[in-house]
Amino acid sequence: MIDRLVARIVGLQVRLLACQARLNANTDSEALHDLRTTVRRLRSLLRPLRGLPGVEQLEAAASAVGALTTPLRDREVLAAYLELHGQTEAAQWRRVQMTDAYPAVAGSPELAHLLMILDAFPRFVRAAQREGLLKRLRKRIEKRLDKQWKKLGEALRDPAHDRHRLRLLIKRVRYAMEAYPELDRLPEAAMPRLKSAQGALGDWHDCWQWLVRAKEEADLQPCVSTWQVAMEKAEAKSDKVLDKLLGSCF
């Protein structure tokens, strides 16, 4: 279990370094997304390990990179949507803003700090192992994963559930399952249901967020009516998908 944990940490470190190089050279449009996905996978790997040496510092560093890149990714996704739907000028203005953002993320203190701590973290793990702090590690992780799953079930059963919170809980459970596949004890339908729910809630969240931005950014006004309709459809779809998730997996 500990060997697999260290191997996954090193694998994520390699992926982050590759993303950093891609951002610095501005080689492709998926580099920022891949960086954020890798950071999210790292946080999912760490969450069940809270309380162990070095975890808190590494989580904080990963969170800082997430906070730095969230508005940039939001702008990137919006620009792609505008381009696809004929709002070329609005899209181009946002793409120009991103030109300097990619190398800025690559050279940011936040990413440098994360990579520095991540480089040392396997040594923390091995030191904790030698000191006997990782006994019953499997049980510890299983308990945390079960707690996440139960929390999602409770949120789904709440008639007044908050879509923002559900989206976050679903992402946590899904990435935790991918972080620890050998501990997956969930129903067979869980992963496809979680992916569908995350996708539907993601569509809803995009529309919601863009409508908020349109109040401050005048060039988005031509899209408002379209987004209002799309958000209503996404709400209805997400409700159906969430009902299926609840009915088949809990």
Q: What is the pLDDT along the chain (250 residues), one digit of tens a residue?
A: 899 999 999 999 999 999 999 999 999 889 999 999 999 999 999 999 998 889 999 999 999 999 999 999 999 999 999 999 999 999 999 999 899 999 999 999 999 999 999 999 999 999 999 999 898 899 999 999 999 999 999 999 998 889 999 999 999 999 999 999 998 888 888 999 999 999 999 999 999 999 999 999 999 999 999 999 999 999 999 999 999 999 888 8
Which single residue is written with the structure tokens 């070329």?
Answer: 88
Query: How much is the CA Rg of the chain, to the nearest whole Å?
Result: 20
The topology under which CATH files domain 137-250 is de novo design (two linked rop proteins) (1.20.1440)
- Report the candidate in 228, 233, 198 with the shortest Cα–Cα distance to residue 211: 228
So what's the pLDDT on residue 60? 97
What pLDDT, on the 0 to 100 scale, is given for residue 189?
86
Sequence-ordered list of residues with C-beta below 8 angstroms from that of 141, at least 6 positions apart, any chain: 48, 49, 180, 183
Q: Quick one: which of 210, 209, 206 has its CA closest to 220? A: 210
List helix spans (H) across 49-189.
55-84, 88-99, 101-106, 109-130, 137-157, 163-179
